Amino acid sequence: MRRAAVIGCGRMGAFTSPAVREYAPACWFPLAHAEAVQAHGDLELAALCDPSAEGLARAQAHYGVARGYADHLSLLKAEELDLVTVATRTIGRAGIIADCFDVGVRALHIEKPLCSSVAELRRIEAMEAGGDLFLTYGTVRRFFPIYRHAVTLASGGDYGALREIRATLGQGALYWTHPHAVDLILMAAGGRRVEAVQARLAGVERAAGAMTIKTDPVIEAATIWFEDGVAGHIGRSPGMDLVLSCQSAELTVLNDGHGLAISDYSGANPYPDRQSVTVGFDPEAPAGTLAPIRELVACLDGDATARRSNAANRRAILTGQHILFAMVQSHLESARPVALDAVDPAIVIEARTGGNNA
Protein backbone atom coordinates (compact mmCIF):
# COMPACT_ATOMS: atom_id res chain seq x y z
CA MET A 1 0.00 0.00 0.00
CA ARG A 2 1.20 3.50 -0.77
CA ARG A 3 0.78 6.16 1.90
CA ALA A 4 -1.21 9.32 1.23
CA ALA A 5 -2.23 12.43 3.14
CA VAL A 6 -4.71 15.25 2.57
CA ILE A 7 -3.72 18.85 3.39
CA GLY A 8 -6.80 21.03 3.93
CA CYS A 9 -9.88 19.25 5.26
CA GLY A 10 -12.68 21.59 4.23
CA ARG A 11 -15.21 21.03 1.50
CA MET A 12 -12.92 19.79 -1.27
CA GLY A 13 -10.53 18.02 1.07
CA ALA A 14 -13.03 16.11 3.15
CA PHE A 15 -16.69 17.14 3.05
CA THR A 16 -18.41 17.48 -0.33
CA SER A 17 -21.14 20.11 -0.14
CA PRO A 18 -24.71 18.78 0.18
CA ALA A 19 -25.83 20.62 -3.00
CA VAL A 20 -23.13 18.93 -5.09
CA ARG A 21 -24.03 15.55 -3.58
CA GLU A 22 -27.66 16.11 -4.43
CA TYR A 23 -27.40 17.47 -7.97
CA ALA A 24 -24.10 16.51 -9.62
CA PRO A 25 -24.10 13.50 -11.97
CA ALA A 26 -22.64 10.18 -10.81
CA CYS A 27 -19.34 10.74 -12.65
CA TRP A 28 -18.42 13.48 -10.13
CA PHE A 29 -17.97 11.06 -7.23
CA PRO A 30 -16.03 10.40 -5.08
CA LEU A 31 -15.18 14.11 -5.10
CA ALA A 32 -13.64 14.96 -1.70
CA HIS A 33 -9.92 14.19 -1.73
CA ALA A 34 -10.02 12.05 1.41
CA GLU A 35 -12.94 10.04 0.07
CA ALA A 36 -11.15 9.50 -3.26
CA VAL A 37 -7.93 8.39 -1.55
CA GLN A 38 -9.85 5.87 0.55
CA ALA A 39 -11.66 4.59 -2.55
CA HIS A 40 -8.32 3.68 -4.16
CA GLY A 41 -7.41 0.11 -3.31
CA ASP A 42 -3.65 0.70 -3.29
CA LEU A 43 -3.65 3.77 -1.04
CA GLU A 44 -3.79 4.12 2.69
CA LEU A 45 -5.10 7.49 3.94
CA ALA A 46 -2.30 7.74 6.49
CA ALA A 47 -2.78 11.28 7.80
CA LEU A 48 -4.80 14.48 7.57
CA CYS A 49 -3.73 18.08 8.05
CA ASP A 50 -5.68 21.26 8.84
CA PRO A 51 -4.97 24.20 11.18
CA SER A 52 -8.60 24.21 12.31
CA ALA A 53 -8.62 21.85 15.30
CA GLU A 54 -12.35 21.37 14.93
CA GLY A 55 -12.20 20.69 11.18
CA LEU A 56 -9.29 18.31 11.59
CA ALA A 57 -10.96 16.34 14.39
CA ARG A 58 -14.17 16.09 12.37
CA ALA A 59 -12.31 14.79 9.31
CA GLN A 60 -10.24 12.34 11.39
CA ALA A 61 -13.39 10.95 12.99
CA HIS A 62 -15.26 10.75 9.68
CA TYR A 63 -12.48 8.93 7.83
CA GLY A 64 -11.13 6.95 10.81
CA VAL A 65 -7.63 8.44 10.48
CA ALA A 66 -5.62 8.50 13.72
CA ARG A 67 -2.82 10.81 12.65
CA GLY A 68 -3.66 14.49 12.33
CA TYR A 69 -1.42 17.57 11.98
CA ALA A 70 -2.10 21.27 12.39
CA ASP A 71 0.48 22.30 9.78
CA HIS A 72 1.88 20.71 6.68
CA LEU A 73 5.55 20.98 7.73
CA SER A 74 4.90 18.82 10.81
CA LEU A 75 3.02 16.37 8.60
CA LEU A 76 5.84 16.16 6.06
CA LYS A 77 8.45 15.79 8.80
CA ALA A 78 6.65 13.00 10.62
CA GLU A 79 5.19 10.96 7.75
CA GLU A 80 6.76 9.14 4.79
CA LEU A 81 4.27 9.90 2.03
CA ASP A 82 4.01 8.70 -1.56
CA LEU A 83 1.10 10.92 -2.54
CA VAL A 84 -0.28 14.18 -1.14
CA THR A 85 -3.45 16.06 -2.03
CA VAL A 86 -3.74 19.79 -1.39
CA ALA A 87 -7.19 21.30 -0.80
CA THR A 88 -6.32 24.53 0.99
CA ARG A 89 -7.36 27.93 -0.40
CA THR A 90 -4.99 29.28 -3.06
CA ILE A 91 -2.84 31.72 -1.08
CA GLY A 92 0.09 29.71 0.30
CA ARG A 93 -0.60 26.68 -1.90
CA ALA A 94 2.55 27.13 -3.97
CA GLY A 95 4.64 27.02 -0.78
CA ILE A 96 2.94 23.77 0.27
CA ILE A 97 3.65 22.27 -3.16
CA ALA A 98 7.34 23.28 -2.88
CA ASP A 99 7.62 21.84 0.64
CA CYS A 100 6.13 18.52 -0.51
CA PHE A 101 8.57 18.46 -3.43
CA ASP A 102 11.53 19.25 -1.18
CA VAL A 103 10.88 16.24 1.08
CA GLY A 104 10.59 13.95 -1.96
CA VAL A 105 6.84 13.62 -2.52
CA ARG A 106 6.47 13.01 -6.26
CA ALA A 107 2.70 12.66 -6.71
CA LEU A 108 0.42 15.61 -5.92
CA HIS A 109 -3.24 16.24 -6.55
CA ILE A 110 -3.79 19.98 -6.18
CA GLU A 111 -6.97 22.01 -6.01
CA LYS A 112 -7.47 24.77 -8.53
CA PRO A 113 -6.24 27.44 -9.11
CA LEU A 114 -2.60 26.39 -9.00
CA CYS A 115 -1.06 29.47 -7.38
CA SER A 116 -1.38 33.19 -6.74
CA SER A 117 1.42 34.79 -8.74
CA VAL A 118 3.48 34.51 -11.92
CA ALA A 119 6.59 34.14 -9.75
CA GLU A 120 5.05 31.13 -7.98
CA LEU A 121 4.02 29.61 -11.29
CA ARG A 122 7.59 29.85 -12.53
CA ARG A 123 8.85 28.06 -9.40
CA ILE A 124 6.35 25.25 -9.92
CA GLU A 125 7.36 25.04 -13.59
CA ALA A 126 10.99 24.62 -12.55
CA MET A 127 10.04 21.73 -10.23
CA GLU A 128 7.97 20.11 -12.97
CA ALA A 129 10.76 20.48 -15.51
CA GLY A 130 12.77 17.84 -13.62
CA GLY A 131 10.39 15.27 -15.14
CA ASP A 132 9.83 13.18 -12.00
CA LEU A 133 6.94 15.12 -10.46
CA PHE A 134 3.46 13.84 -11.25
CA LEU A 135 0.64 16.36 -10.91
CA THR A 136 -3.11 16.34 -11.25
CA TYR A 137 -5.48 19.18 -10.64
CA GLY A 138 -8.97 19.95 -9.30
CA THR A 139 -10.34 20.54 -12.82
CA VAL A 140 -11.45 16.94 -12.82
CA ARG A 141 -13.93 16.96 -15.73
CA ARG A 142 -11.05 16.16 -18.10
CA PHE A 143 -10.92 12.68 -16.55
CA PHE A 144 -14.63 11.89 -16.90
CA PRO A 145 -15.53 9.40 -19.66
CA ILE A 146 -18.38 11.57 -21.01
CA TYR A 147 -16.08 14.58 -21.63
CA ARG A 148 -13.38 12.36 -23.10
CA HIS A 149 -15.89 10.76 -25.45
CA ALA A 150 -17.20 14.14 -26.61
CA VAL A 151 -13.68 15.40 -27.32
CA THR A 152 -12.78 12.17 -29.15
CA LEU A 153 -15.87 12.54 -31.36
CA ALA A 154 -15.21 16.24 -32.03
CA SER A 155 -11.60 15.67 -32.98
CA GLY A 156 -12.20 12.48 -34.97
CA GLY A 157 -12.96 14.22 -38.29
CA ASP A 158 -16.47 12.81 -38.86
CA TYR A 159 -17.94 16.26 -38.26
CA GLY A 160 -15.23 18.26 -40.01
CA ALA A 161 -12.64 20.38 -38.26
CA LEU A 162 -13.14 21.70 -34.76
CA ARG A 163 -13.69 25.47 -34.92
CA GLU A 164 -14.93 26.74 -31.61
CA ILE A 165 -15.12 25.60 -28.00
CA ARG A 166 -17.47 27.19 -25.47
CA ALA A 167 -17.44 26.51 -21.76
CA THR A 168 -20.64 27.96 -20.34
CA LEU A 169 -20.32 27.86 -16.59
CA GLY A 170 -22.53 30.88 -15.90
CA GLN A 171 -21.34 34.21 -14.54
CA GLY A 172 -18.21 33.14 -12.72
CA ALA A 173 -15.05 34.49 -11.17
CA LEU A 174 -11.61 34.13 -12.71
CA TYR A 175 -10.13 32.11 -9.83
CA TRP A 176 -13.17 30.49 -8.25
CA THR A 177 -14.97 29.20 -11.36
CA HIS A 178 -13.02 29.64 -14.52
CA PRO A 179 -9.95 27.45 -14.03
CA HIS A 180 -12.58 24.81 -14.92
CA ALA A 181 -13.63 26.59 -18.13
CA VAL A 182 -10.03 27.18 -19.17
CA ASP A 183 -9.15 23.54 -18.56
CA LEU A 184 -12.13 22.27 -20.53
CA ILE A 185 -11.08 24.47 -23.44
CA LEU A 186 -7.50 23.21 -23.25
CA MET A 187 -8.72 19.63 -23.07
CA ALA A 188 -10.90 20.08 -26.16
CA ALA A 189 -8.12 21.90 -28.01
CA GLY A 190 -5.78 18.93 -27.55
CA GLY A 191 -2.14 19.91 -27.95
CA ARG A 192 -2.82 23.09 -29.95
CA ARG A 193 -0.53 25.95 -29.01
CA VAL A 194 -2.16 29.01 -27.44
CA GLU A 195 -1.50 32.04 -29.60
CA ALA A 196 -3.14 34.73 -27.50
CA VAL A 197 -5.72 35.45 -24.84
CA GLN A 198 -8.27 38.28 -24.73
CA ALA A 199 -10.45 39.09 -21.75
CA ARG A 200 -12.76 41.68 -20.32
CA LEU A 201 -13.25 41.37 -16.58
CA ALA A 202 -15.48 43.07 -14.01
CA GLY A 203 -14.71 43.89 -10.41
CA VAL A 204 -10.95 44.23 -10.80
CA GLU A 205 -9.60 45.96 -7.70
CA ARG A 206 -5.91 46.65 -8.02
CA ALA A 207 -3.48 47.58 -5.23
CA ALA A 208 -2.13 51.10 -5.78
CA GLY A 209 0.98 51.14 -7.96
CA ALA A 210 1.26 47.36 -8.08
CA MET A 211 0.29 44.46 -10.33
CA THR A 212 -1.62 42.90 -7.43
CA ILE A 213 -5.30 42.18 -8.04
CA LYS A 214 -7.03 42.04 -4.69
CA THR A 215 -10.41 40.72 -5.86
CA ASP A 216 -11.52 37.65 -7.79
CA PRO A 217 -12.85 39.38 -10.93
CA VAL A 218 -15.80 38.11 -12.94
CA ILE A 219 -15.04 37.14 -16.53
CA GLU A 220 -17.48 39.08 -18.71
CA ALA A 221 -16.01 37.62 -21.90
CA ALA A 222 -12.77 35.89 -22.76
CA THR A 223 -11.32 34.18 -25.79
CA ILE A 224 -8.37 31.83 -26.02
CA TRP A 225 -7.00 31.80 -29.56
CA PHE A 226 -5.18 28.67 -30.70
CA GLU A 227 -2.60 28.39 -33.46
CA ASP A 228 -4.94 27.09 -36.17
CA GLY A 229 -7.70 29.62 -35.55
CA VAL A 230 -9.69 27.46 -33.12
CA ALA A 231 -11.22 29.76 -30.52
CA GLY A 232 -12.19 28.91 -26.96
CA HIS A 233 -14.85 31.23 -25.51
CA ILE A 234 -15.92 31.93 -21.97
CA GLY A 235 -18.91 34.18 -21.30
CA ARG A 236 -21.68 34.60 -18.79
CA SER A 237 -24.36 32.31 -20.26
CA PRO A 238 -25.99 30.18 -17.63
CA GLY A 239 -25.66 26.42 -17.75
CA MET A 240 -22.88 23.97 -17.13
CA ASP A 241 -22.15 22.92 -20.67
CA LEU A 242 -19.13 22.26 -22.85
CA VAL A 243 -19.98 23.01 -26.48
CA LEU A 244 -17.69 21.76 -29.25
CA SER A 245 -18.54 23.32 -32.61
CA CYS A 246 -17.23 21.49 -35.64
CA GLN A 247 -17.84 22.31 -39.31
CA SER A 248 -20.97 20.16 -39.59
CA ALA A 249 -22.07 19.46 -36.03
CA GLU A 250 -22.15 20.76 -32.52
CA LEU A 251 -21.44 18.38 -29.65
CA THR A 252 -22.55 19.42 -26.18
CA VAL A 253 -21.74 17.86 -22.83
CA LEU A 254 -24.79 19.02 -20.94
CA ASN A 255 -25.27 19.97 -17.31
CA ASP A 256 -21.85 19.06 -15.97
CA GLY A 257 -21.91 15.59 -17.50
CA HIS A 258 -25.58 14.63 -17.17
CA GLY A 259 -25.79 14.02 -20.91
CA LEU A 260 -24.17 14.34 -24.35
CA ALA A 261 -26.02 15.68 -27.38
CA ILE A 262 -25.08 16.10 -31.03
CA SER A 263 -26.70 18.62 -33.37
CA ASP A 264 -25.80 17.37 -36.81
CA TYR A 265 -26.17 19.48 -39.95
CA SER A 266 -26.40 17.55 -43.19
CA GLY A 267 -27.70 17.87 -46.76
CA ALA A 268 -29.83 20.87 -47.73
CA ASN A 269 -31.67 21.04 -44.41
CA PRO A 270 -30.45 24.18 -42.62
CA TYR A 271 -31.76 22.92 -39.28
CA PRO A 272 -29.78 20.47 -37.18
CA ASP A 273 -30.85 16.98 -36.33
CA ARG A 274 -30.50 16.75 -32.53
CA GLN A 275 -29.70 13.43 -30.91
CA SER A 276 -28.74 12.26 -27.48
CA VAL A 277 -25.65 10.09 -27.34
CA THR A 278 -25.79 7.27 -24.83
CA VAL A 279 -23.07 4.90 -25.98
CA GLY A 280 -19.29 5.15 -25.93
CA PHE A 281 -18.94 6.07 -22.27
CA ASP A 282 -20.19 4.86 -18.91
CA PRO A 283 -22.12 7.68 -17.21
CA GLU A 284 -22.13 5.83 -13.88
CA ALA A 285 -18.40 4.97 -13.75
CA PRO A 286 -16.82 6.38 -10.57
CA ALA A 287 -14.52 9.18 -11.59
CA GLY A 288 -14.54 12.38 -9.51
CA THR A 289 -11.22 12.92 -7.78
CA LEU A 290 -10.57 9.18 -7.81
CA ALA A 291 -9.83 9.35 -11.56
CA PRO A 292 -6.83 11.71 -11.29
CA ILE A 293 -5.63 9.89 -8.19
CA ARG A 294 -5.70 6.63 -10.15
CA GLU A 295 -3.50 8.31 -12.76
CA LEU A 296 -1.02 9.47 -10.09
CA VAL A 297 -0.74 6.00 -8.56
CA ALA A 298 -0.26 4.46 -12.01
CA CYS A 299 2.50 7.02 -12.68
CA LEU A 300 4.23 6.03 -9.44
CA ASP A 301 3.89 2.39 -10.52
CA GLY A 302 5.75 3.22 -13.74
CA ASP A 303 2.80 2.81 -16.10
CA ALA A 304 3.92 4.35 -19.41
CA THR A 305 0.41 5.26 -20.62
CA ALA A 306 -0.38 7.04 -17.36
CA ARG A 307 2.93 8.88 -17.48
CA ARG A 308 2.26 10.08 -21.04
CA SER A 309 -1.22 11.20 -20.07
CA ASN A 310 0.13 12.95 -16.98
CA ALA A 311 2.76 14.80 -19.01
CA ALA A 312 -0.06 16.24 -21.16
CA ASN A 313 -2.17 16.98 -18.08
CA ARG A 314 0.73 18.79 -16.41
CA ARG A 315 1.19 20.95 -19.51
CA ALA A 316 -2.50 21.83 -19.33
CA ILE A 317 -2.27 22.71 -15.61
CA LEU A 318 0.66 25.07 -16.21
CA THR A 319 -0.74 26.54 -19.43
CA GLY A 320 -4.13 27.03 -17.79
CA GLN A 321 -2.55 29.06 -15.00
CA HIS A 322 -0.62 31.17 -17.55
CA ILE A 323 -3.94 31.81 -19.30
CA LEU A 324 -5.54 33.14 -16.08
CA PHE A 325 -2.67 35.62 -15.71
CA ALA A 326 -2.88 36.55 -19.40
CA MET A 327 -6.59 37.31 -18.96
CA VAL A 328 -5.72 39.87 -16.29
CA GLN A 329 -3.00 41.35 -18.49
CA SER A 330 -5.40 41.58 -21.44
CA HIS A 331 -8.09 43.24 -19.32
CA LEU A 332 -5.62 45.82 -18.02
CA GLU A 333 -4.69 46.60 -21.65
CA SER A 334 -8.26 47.18 -22.93
CA ALA A 335 -8.85 43.54 -23.89
CA ARG A 336 -6.05 43.38 -26.44
CA PRO A 337 -4.80 39.89 -27.40
CA VAL A 338 -1.92 38.92 -25.12
CA ALA A 339 0.55 36.11 -25.78
CA LEU A 340 1.32 33.90 -22.79
CA ASP A 341 4.95 35.01 -22.70
CA ALA A 342 3.95 38.69 -22.67
CA VAL A 343 2.49 38.62 -19.17
CA ASP A 344 3.93 40.97 -16.54
CA PRO A 345 6.00 38.76 -14.17
CA ALA A 346 4.87 40.93 -11.25
CA ILE A 347 1.18 39.87 -11.45
CA VAL A 348 -0.31 38.60 -8.19
CA ILE A 349 -3.97 37.59 -7.89
CA GLU A 350 -5.16 37.51 -4.28
CA ALA A 351 -8.70 36.65 -5.39
CA ARG A 352 -10.37 37.81 -2.20
CA THR A 353 -14.14 37.61 -1.85
CA GLY A 354 -15.56 38.67 1.49
CA GLY A 355 -13.14 37.48 4.15
CA ASN A 356 -11.78 34.56 2.14
CA ASN A 357 -9.68 33.91 -0.95
CA ALA A 358 -10.44 31.54 -3.82
Ligand X SMILES: NC(=O)c1ccc[n+]([C@@H]2O[C@H](COP(=O)([O-])OP(=O)(O)OC[C@H]3O[C@@H](n4cnc5c(N)ncnc54)[C@H](O)[C@@H]3O)[C@@H](O)[C@H]2O)c1
**Residues at the site binding ligand X, with contacts judged by CB under 6 A:** 7-13, 49-52, 55, 72, 87-90, 92, 111-112, 138, 176, 358
Spatial contact of 266 and 258, defined as CB atoms under 8 Å apart: no
| Strand-pair category, 218-226 with 67-69 | unpaired
Whose Cβ is closer to ligand X: residue 86's or residue 338's?
86
Rg (CA), the chain: 20
Q: How far is the CB of 329 from ligand X (least distance, A)?
A: 21
Cα–chain center distance at 11: 16
Whose Cβ is closer to ligand X: residue 101's or residue 176's?
176
Q: How far is the CB of 258 from ligand X (least distance, A)?
A: 16
Q: How far is the CB of 142 from ligand X (least distance, A)?
A: 11
- Return d(Cα 339, Cα 133) in angstroms, integer: 27
Residue number of the CB closest to ligand X reads 10
Whose Cβ is closer to ligand X: residue 72's or residue 294's?
72
Q: How far is the CB of 213 from ligand X (least distance, A)?
A: 16
Whose Cβ is closer to ligand X: residue 170's or residue 280's?
170
Which 3 state secondary structure label does DSSP give 83?
strand
Whose Cβ is closer to ligand X: residue 24's or residue 249's?
24
Q: How far is the CB of 257 from ligand X (least distance, A)?
A: 12
DSSP per position, 257-325: GTEEEEEE--TT--SPEEEEE-SSS-TTS--TTHHHHHHHHHHHTT-HHHHHHHHHHHHHHHHHHHHHH
